[in-house]
Structure 1
Amino acid sequence: MSLRISTNSIYESGTSQLNTLQGQMAKTQNQLSTNKRMLTAADDPIASARALELTQSQSMNTQFGTNRSNANASLSLVDKSLSDVSGQITDIQSLIVTAGNGGYSQSDREALATELEGRLSDLIGLANTSNGVGGYLFSGYASTTQPYSQTPTGAAYQGDQGQRMLQVGSTRKMAISESGSAIFDAIGTGNGTFQTQAAATNTGAGIVSPGAVTDRSKLTGHDYAVNFAVSGTPAVTTYSVVDNSVSPAANVLQDQPYTAGASINFDGISFDVKGAPANGDSFTVKPSQKQSVFTTVTDLIKTLRTPDTGSAGKAALANGLATAGSNMQNALDNVLTVQASVGARMKELDSLDSTGSDLDTQYQATLSGLQDLDMVKAISLYSQQQTTLQAAQLSFKTMSSLSLFNYIS
């Protein structure tokens, strides 16, 4: 039994096969032109979904890199400002040492006070440093509020305690600013644990040292008064230590012989008094408080402008300079601590940048494996498809020309 194939069937079948071959060849051509194995998600649904996930992760990694760049710029500005602040504090410390020169007259100290007024203005200006985008570095979350305004006692803080944060990694948020109060206001007085001061009513020449902690386990955090008494002939100076934090006040030490420069020890603390305290003179020992560096400089200016009349005046000047020196050292230590924290964060950003760069390379390599075309294999396939299409076209031409009419003369 013979199978008859109609002319219409020959044409339909041939056209369909040619269209299929041309479509396959066009797809290979598009893959070659784009160097992509997957032109649509239908080409490889699993690889396409994975590539989309990787692309999103890569975009997030790129954004984290941008955030790190912004964070580094902000922290660099903070670091530069803190370096300038530490320079100003160091200069003020030098002026304190200079002011203690026994040969200086009152007019000399007045000149130093005038210079300190300029230093105070410079410090407040640094505390009000702009972040370059219309805000302030040290105002916390209230970035558009000027942090400090000068007052008769120093400067008043108008910002808040916040630190602006920025996402610099998938699991890392980093502070890119510092609160002004933490830098300029949170300065411990005295030696950081307790503060010694001479009473304003003292008439003698006693000068008290900042002191030090000898046994932290014995610290009470109480307020003490060291009272001096001078009596007898020849005059004998003694002192008593009174704890004013209990009621009634309790004697800690009583009628102890005084030797200039000898240590006074009680309740885990130690300090000394030099010079000659007068009868009724008193020195206080209190827990350290938080004080603004601007208040310290303002008090120092007042100290320099107070005449050092007589031995009592000279002692008051020496005590005032010693207090200012301790407080400014604490201020410098605090600024350096904050600056070290900023530097640690900048170093961490460098490490995160290196990790981010490695991660981006990994993402790119994985995406390349999923999406990129094997050029050698694709070119070979394209040549094969081209040969197949040409053969199909030739065979279709030959078949379509078969007709009995070609043999009828």
Structure 2
Amino acid sequence: MSLRLATSTIFATGTGQINSLQTQMAKTQEQLSANKRVLTASDDPIASARSLEVTQSQSMNTQFATNRNNAKSSLSLVDKTMQDVTAQIQSIQTSIVAAGNATYTQSDRQALATQLEGQMKDLIGMANTTDGTGGYIFSGYQSTTQPFSQTPTGATYQGDQGVRSLQVGSARKMSVTANGSQIFDAVPTGNGTFQTQASTSNTGSGIVSPGSVTDRSQLNGHNYAINFAIGGTPSATTYSVMDTTTNPATAVLQNQPYTAGATISFGGMSTSITGAPADGDSFTVQPSQKQSVFTTLQNLIDTLKGPADGSTGKATLANNLATAGSNMANALSNVLTVQATVGANLNELDTLDSSGQALDEQYTQTLNNLDNYDLAKTISLFTQQQQTLQAAQISFKTMSGLSLFNYIS
């Protein structure tokens, strides 16, 4: 029994096969162009799903790398500014030492005060450093608000207490700015635990040392006064230490003989006084407070502009210079602490960069393994499909040309 094929069937079957072969070859060509095996989820659903997950992770890793670059830029600016501030404070410390020179005249001290006024402006300018895009790096979250404005007593902080941060790793969020209030305003006075000061009404030549802590377990945070008296026959200078936090004040030490430079100890603290305090002179010992470096600098300028006549004036100058020296040393310590933190963060960013690069290479390798793309195999397949298509086209042409009408003359 013979099988009869209609001409339409021959054409439909032939074109269908050719279209199918062309589609397969086009798919292989796309794989060659994209250099990938899996182009759509239907090519390999499992590999495609895993590839999507890895690609998303790699994208996040790339974003973290971008964040780290931004963090480095911001932290480097903070570090450079802190270096400039350090140099400025050290210069001010040199001026404090120079101002204590016994040969200096009022004119010399006035010249130092003028120099310090310029350094005040420079220091405020550093505290108002911007990031190049108009944002202030020391104003907390209020990046568009200038953090410091100069006042007659120093400068006031107008930012907030925030510290801007960036996600620099999957489990690491890092501060990329510093808070101006903590750097420039929160400077402990005195020796960092307590501060000693001479009363402004003193008439003698007593000069008090910054003191030190001798026993922290005895510190109670109280305010004390060292009061001097001169009397008796022969005349003798004595002092009493009063705890002025209690009401009424209570005596801690009473009528102790005064020896210039001798250690005076009480409440886990010790200090010493040199010179010749007058009858009724007083020195205070109080817990350290937080004070702006700009306030310290303005007080220093006012001191240098004021008179320093006679033994009393010289003692007042020496006491104020000692106070300024201690406070500026604490300000420098504050700045160096910020620098150390910034340096540690920059080192950590370098470490995170290395880890991020290794992770990116791992993601790339995983994607390559999931795609399992073999260039030689794909080229061989494409050549085979091309030859198959050509054979199909030739056979279709031959089949479609078979007709009895070709033999009728």
TM-score by length of 1: 0.94
1:185-200 equivalences in 2 (<5 Å): 185-200=185-200
What is the CA-CA distance between 1:393 and the residue it aligns to? 4.2
1:4 paired to 2:37 = no
The aligned residue for residue 351 of structure 2 is 351
Amino acid at match of 2:66: T
Q: 1:281 to 1:52 in 2, by over 3 A?
A: same
What is the CA-CA distance between 1:16 and the residue it aligns to? 2.9
Amino acid at match of 2:146: Q
- 2:303 partner SS: helix
- 1:178 partner SS: coil
Query: Conserved in 2, the CA contact under 8 Å of 1:35 and 1:372?
Result: no
Q: 1:405 to 1:150 in 2, by over 3 A?
A: closer
Amino acid at match of 1:362: Q
What is the rounded CA distance, in whole Å, between the counterparts of 2:205 and 2:84 in structure 1? 37
What is the CA-CA distance between 1:10 and the residue it aligns to? 4.2
What is the CA-CA distance between 1:402 and the residue it aligns to? 5.8
The aligned residue for residue 76 of structure 1 is 76
**More divergent stretch after superposition (41-50 vs 289-298):** 41-50
1:354-373 equivalences in 2 (<5 Å): 354-371=354-371, 373=373
The aligned residue for residue 297 of structure 1 is 297
What is the CA-CA distance between 1:318 and the residue it aligns to? 0.8
1:388-407 equivalences in 2 (<5 Å): 388-396=388-396
The aligned residue for residue 285 of structure 2 is 285
**More divergent stretch after superposition (379-388 vs 189-198):** 379-388
What is the CA-CA distance between 1:118 and the residue it aligns to? 1.1
- 1:228 partner SS: strand
Amino acid at match of 1:143: S
The aligned residue for residue 107 of structure 1 is 107
Amino acid at match of 1:169: G
Q: 1:379 to 1:246 in 2, by over 3 A?
A: same
The aligned residue for residue 39 of structure 1 is 39
The aligned residue for residue 28 of structure 1 is 28
Query: Conserved in 2, the CA contact under 8 Å of 1:194 and 1:288?
Result: yes
The aligned residue for residue 142 of structure 1 is 142
- 2:246 partner SS: coil
1:124 paired to 2:130 = no
Amino acid at match of 1:108: D
Query: Conserved in 2, the CA contact under 8 Å of 1:68 and 1:349?
Result: yes
The aligned residue for residue 154 of structure 2 is 154
What is the rounded CA distance, in whole Å, between the counterparts of 1:250 and 1:206 in structure 2? 23
1:59 paired to 2:59 = yes
Once the two structures are superposed, what CA deviation does each residue of 1:221-247 show, in whole Å capped at 9, x if it has no partner?
000001111223433221111001111
Q: 1:376 to 1:270 in 2, by over 3 A?
A: same
Amino acid at match of 2:384: Q
- 1:142 partner SS: coil
What is the CA-CA distance between 1:395 and the residue it aligns to? 4.6
What is the CA-CA distance between 1:29 and the residue it aligns to? 2.2
What is the CA-CA distance between 1:138 and the residue it aligns to? 1.2
1:174-253 equivalences in 2 (<5 Å): 174-253=174-253
Query: Conserved in 2, the CA contact under 8 Å of 1:64 and 1:168?
Result: yes
- 2:143 partner SS: coil
What is the rounded CA distance, in whole Å, between the counterparts of 2:360 and 2:42 in structure 1? 27
- 2:333 partner SS: helix
Once the two structures are superposed, what CA deviation does each residue of 1:128-178 show, in whole Å capped at 9, x if it has no partner?
112211121211111111111111111111111111122222222222211
What is the rounded CA distance, in whole Å, between the counterparts of 2:194 and 2:35 in structure 1? 73
What is the rounded CA distance, in whole Å, between the counterparts of 2:223 and 2:391 in structure 1? 107
Which 5+ residue runs of structure 1 have no aligned equivalent? Answer: none
Query: Conserved in 2, the CA contact under 8 Å of 1:223 and 1:286?
Result: yes
How high is the sequence identity, in percent, across the aligned residues? 68
- 2:140 partner SS: coil
What is the rounded CA distance, in whole Å, between the counterparts of 2:398 and 2:262 in structure 1? 123
Q: 1:15 to 1:102 in 2, by over 3 A?
A: same
What is the rounded CA distance, in whole Å, between the counterparts of 1:394 and 1:313 in structure 2? 116
Q: 1:109 to 1:4 in 2, by over 3 A?
A: same
What is the CA-CA distance between 1:3 and the residue it aligns to? 4.7
Over the aligned positions, Cα root-mean-square deviation in angstroms equals: 2.0
Number of residue pairs matched by the alignment:
408
Amino acid at match of 1:227: N
What is the CA-CA distance between 1:408 and the residue it aligns to? 9.0
What is the rounded CA distance, in whole Å, between the counterparts of 2:403 and 2:156 in structure 1? 107
Which 5+ residue runs of structure 2 have no aligned equivalent? Answer: none
Amino acid at match of 1:285: V
Q: 1:309 to 1:41 in 2, by over 3 A?
A: same
1:317 paired to 2:317 = yes
What is the CA-CA distance between 1:91 and the residue it aligns to? 0.4
What is the rounded CA distance, in whole Å, between the counterparts of 1:232 and 1:242 in structure 2? 21
The aligned residue for residue 94 of structure 1 is 94
Q: 1:89 to 1:405 in 2, by over 3 A?
A: closer
**More divergent stretch after superposition (163-172 vs 142-151):** 163-172
Once the two structures are superposed, what CA deviation does each residue of 1:364-392 show, in whole Å capped at 9, x if it has no partner?
22222233631111122223323433444
**More divergent stretch after superposition (361-370 vs 271-280):** 361-370
Once the two structures are superposed, what CA deviation does each residue of 1:259-279 show, in whole Å capped at 9, x if it has no partner?
111111111101111111111
Q: 1:401 to 1:129 in 2, by over 3 A?
A: closer
Query: Conserved in 2, the CA contact under 8 Å of 1:32 and 1:373?
Result: no
**More divergent stretch after superposition (290-299 vs 106-115):** 106-115
The aligned residue for residue 269 of structure 2 is 269
What is the CA-CA distance between 1:179 and the residue it aligns to? 1.5
What is the CA-CA distance between 1:186 and the residue it aligns to? 0.2
- 2:284 partner SS: strand
